[in-house]
Structure 1
Amino acid sequence: QQDTLNDNMLAVLSYPRALATVKSSGLEVDGGARRHFVVCGTEGTLHIEPLDATKSVRLTLSKERGKYKKGHQDVPVEPYERYVGDAADFAKVIRSEKMFDWSPMHDLAVQETVLKASGCPTDR
């Protein structure tokens, strides 16, 4: 389907000590089932797939680290329900039981980054 949406994208975000890539494809069949998150470092990689309802993460290390061995291993993780913790945290803010974890400037920077990565103007 032809449209004007930027829903097939690759964004590269460069930081002083890191590089992040974010890929999205609105055309991928059943792409949601394959959503994943990968963190790569000089001494290891962590791979979470699927993002929702995962029972373990794949950890790959260049050398042994405490109870984790060198090489590939699946590490069990506790069940996680997306948004539940965020909603509970937001309720505490509304009840004045805590402050937001992030400043308004942080939120603005995140939204501007998303807009810029999507090729949209930020008008700032």
Structure 2
Amino acid sequence: MDSPAALMRVVSSISGALRSRMMVPSAMFSAGVFEAVVTLAFLVANTPEGIFSHHGKTLVVVYYGILTAGGIVGSATASASFWVARDLEGRHATGMALLCACTLTLIPVIGLLVSFFLLKK
């Protein structure tokens, strides 16, 4: 599965979690794993020097900060999805809060992913 199709699947699972409580653990898992995998792929890849070459080290630090935060939050969300699934009625609010945190850190990671594909063409 390519990245745009995986991204659309993650977005549809997050929107499904907003409509149904039963979808929250699966949306947490898919969003967390997607975010962790994308951030690890960006951490392993080289820094896009063309973007950061004329702006100093500050943007490089911000770039790696976004990726580190995304990896940590994505891994925590994917791990917590199993905990939320055990008692969905009692832990639904915690699951939704973690899903929102994952979505907030997923937005800059998606921006980096889109810019990577646009600059590649």
TM-score by shorter chain over 0.5: no
Structure with more contact order per residue of length (Cα contacts < 8 Å, sep ≥ 6): 2
Higher helix share: 2
Decide which structure has the larger Cα Rg and report it.
1
